[in-house]
Chains A and B, each alone.
Chain A
């Protein structure tokens, strides 16, 4: 049963990592344009010199 001392924390840490990543995706507006992002990856053009602000 001693194995639980490792396994439970490990599973909790992995789970909370997933949660943290999900929170990160929400915070960085990654669900604003799901269709556009899915299409953009197919574009063969690379913008090497984006306009400077």
Chain B
């Protein structure tokens, strides 16, 4: 329910639902803007939707199988619990440590160390498990990741501190070990939250399309989930409905909108015997189709195989954090080992050498690095989410920042997919009046465009009687005793047209053409212009005929365009661009774009796109307008700069503190100060993005 926002809405909806006898209980979740309902078994979601809409709110059904929030939720909850335990332990140990730093001596210091150990050991054993587990699996695979130095630092710090404590020594790093765990867990939690928000929003988009179909059986029609359809079933498709499966038309005439699959804007005539593919939209008349391929075998799903191939070909992008870790992890280990060996040879004292090695590991531990990336991505994703962009992939922001070439699809991406009448000014008013009268009785997109344009121009409909829609052809009626027809060229007796056109014939007079163009999506012109001013190359690729593609390219000022491109052509072109060294951003919505979306450096699809296209892209545009895109590129650029800055800050802290640690001058106090200060600086730096 996208429109609820206050306490009154909650009360009204829950009351309305509770008043329905077949509903046991209903609870609104305002944060997610959803309501969950427990009801008697024969209650359908449509009934509940009607109740909510009766109360005055917009409602959509969500497919519960597509929402797997519970699992992600459990992981988040577990992390939060570990974070809480680490935070609690860190606070208490810090209190004790401050006493030690300010000069506690002798038995008091030993007592404090022992209490710290008693708090920290179990706390670390519980909280730091994710690090230990990751480090172990990396080591088993013979690799080094960020978690290896982390785990080693924590373990070594605890080990030497325990040893020191038993010998009533001066330096114990219990506070450092637990603070380290706490800061790193905070980074992990931020990371998890960002991803969980994106995942739940993406799942919601998928869940909005509840797959249902009307199956024709011996005793009438029944509504069934698409998953239950079998090959050979007869399926009834209403005007405006989308084909759930591949099949062949057995009954009915209509027109099909195939723009999501091929990018063509012209509707195609549908007659019995013709093959249809899943994803096509039925426009005018009811159709009955016999399923020839269902589920995984449909053409929609076969496209998924092509996407998988394209994805495996995509050069694996190494994120900035991974690059840093690759440089960092071995360096840290070598440094600390060198310090250990050096001090052992110099002082011939195992205890001193171990202490120094632990200090080096703690100082260099990538605490700030662990926070540097998640803090920035959280801030940037939050900002982009407010602008209506959903970042699905963790590294999408970094990749978006590198983009220098932008490839747009035409139908459904730069254009809204709804036609617009272009030649109203050149038409005879009488003709428009007749066309309006005929168009008003039809739900066909072209008819609606005529009605809208004529109404806006203040034209009243002519007096046409006996209007009737002939599915697949158009609308006809009687005007002044003459037969009038408005529809397809062949039927209304029109000629050929390069553009999308509908023809009006009055009696025996020659037919008049009404031409249409695809309406531009809001902000399309601004987005293209902004990308061009930012010095990026903009390319238009479409599966549509050359004429409409060229006229759109000219309208938007795009020099490079490509028409009648098949899915493979688009992907091949993008591969060619990539081979030339370009970083391509692909923006597309159709099934014919999915391969291109997967093979581009980074990809964006609007929320109106097919599920397959949304899955293949890294970023989903939730709103209707395209204006947020250039801003997103800018935000991504800024975010990457912040990440680099954060790495620089963390490195400087290390450069200053590491020599101290190696020289043996680093007390636990300095370690704690350096660590907290660097973590806080990188977090504050990240927050500047908001």
Residues of A within 8 A of B (CB): 1, 4, 8, 11-12, 15-16, 18-19, 22-23, 26, 32-36, 39-43, 45, 51, 53
Question: Which of A23, A42, A51 contacts B84 (CB under 8 A)?
Answer: A23
Contact, CB under 8 Å: A8 / B115:
yes
CA distance A49 to B479 in the complex (A): 64
Q: Which residue of B lies closest to A12 (CB)?
A: B92
Task: Tell me if B28 counts as interface (CB < 8 A to partner A).
Answer: yes
Given contacts A19-B84, A19-B88, contact A34 B31 (CB under 8 A): yes
A35 to chain B, nearest CB (A): 4
Contact, CB under 8 Å: A35 / B30:
yes
CA distance A39 to B370 in the complex (A): 36
Given contacts A22-B84, A39-B7, A40-B7, contact A33 B29 (CB under 8 A): yes
Given contacts A33-B30, A51-B24, contact A39 B88 (CB under 8 A): no
How many residues of chain B have a CB within 8 Å of chain A?
28
Task: Tell me if B25 counts as interface (CB < 8 A to partner A).
Answer: yes
Q: 7 smallest A-B Cβ distances: which pairs?
A: A36-B30, A39-B7, A19-B88, A35-B31, A42-B7, A33-B29, A43-B7
CA distance A41 to B108 in the complex (A): 50
Contact, CB under 8 Å: A32 / B92:
no
Given contacts A8-B115, A16-B88, contact A53 B24 (CB under 8 A): yes
CA distance A51 to B80 in the complex (A): 34
Interface of B: prevailing SS: helix
Task: Tell me if B303 counts as interface (CB < 8 A to partner A).
Answer: no
Contact, CB under 8 Å: A39 / B25:
no
Residues of B contacting A34 with CB < 8 Å?
Answer: 31
B217 to chain A, nearest CB (A): 36
Task: Tell me if B10 counts as interface (CB < 8 A to partner A).
Answer: yes
Contact, CB under 8 Å: B88 / A18:
yes
A13 to chain B, nearest CB (A): 11
Residues of B contacting A4 with CB < 8 Å?
Answer: 108, 111
Given contacts A39-B6, A43-B10, contact A51 B32 (CB under 8 A): no
A51 to chain B, nearest CB (A): 6
Q: List 12 A-B contacts (CB under 8 A).
A: A1-B108, A12-B119, A15-B92, A19-B84, A19-B88, A26-B81, A32-B29, A33-B30, A33-B31, A34-B31, A36-B29, A51-B24
Interface of A: prevailing SS: helix
Q: Which residue of A lies closest to B85 (CB)?
A: A19
Residues of B contacting A8 with CB < 8 Å?
Answer: 96, 115
Task: Tell me if B224 counts as interface (CB < 8 A to partner A).
Answer: no
A4 to chain B, nearest CB (A): 8
Residues of A contacting B7 with CB < 8 Å?
Answer: 39-43
Task: Tell me if B95 counts as interface (CB < 8 A to partner A).
Answer: yes
Task: Tell me if B11 counts as interface (CB < 8 A to partner A).
Answer: yes
Interface residues of B in 45-82 (CB under 8 A from A): 77, 80-81
Q: Which residue of A lies closest to B18 (CB)?
A: A51
Q: Which residue of B lies closest to A7 (CB)?
A: B95
Given contacts A12-B92, A51-B18, contact A39 B30 (CB under 8 A): yes
Residues of A contacting B119 with CB < 8 Å?
Answer: 12
Contact, CB under 8 Å: A33 / B32:
yes
Residues of B contacting A12 with CB < 8 Å?
Answer: 92, 119
Given contacts A36-B10, A53-B24, contact A15 B91 (CB under 8 A): yes
Residue-by-residue, is B106-135 near A (CB-CB < 8 Å gives 1, otherwise 0)? Answer: 001001000100010000000000000000
Residue-by-residue, is B1-35 near A (CB-CB < 8 Å gives 1, otherwise 0)? Answer: 00000111011000100100000110011111000
Question: Which of A11, A22, A35, A39 contacts B92 (CB under 8 A)?
Answer: A11
Given contacts A19-B84, A51-B25, contact A43 B11 (CB under 8 A): yes
Q: Which residue of A lies closest to B25 (CB)?
A: A51
Question: Which of A1, A15, A22, A36 contacts B31 (CB under 8 A)?
Answer: A36
B36 to chain A, nearest CB (A): 11
CA distance A19 to B80 in the complex (A): 12
Q: A12-B92, A33-B30, A35-B31 are in contact. List 10 more A-B contacts (CB 8 A).
A: A1-B108, A15-B88, A15-B92, A32-B29, A36-B29, A43-B7, A43-B11, A51-B18, A51-B24, A53-B25
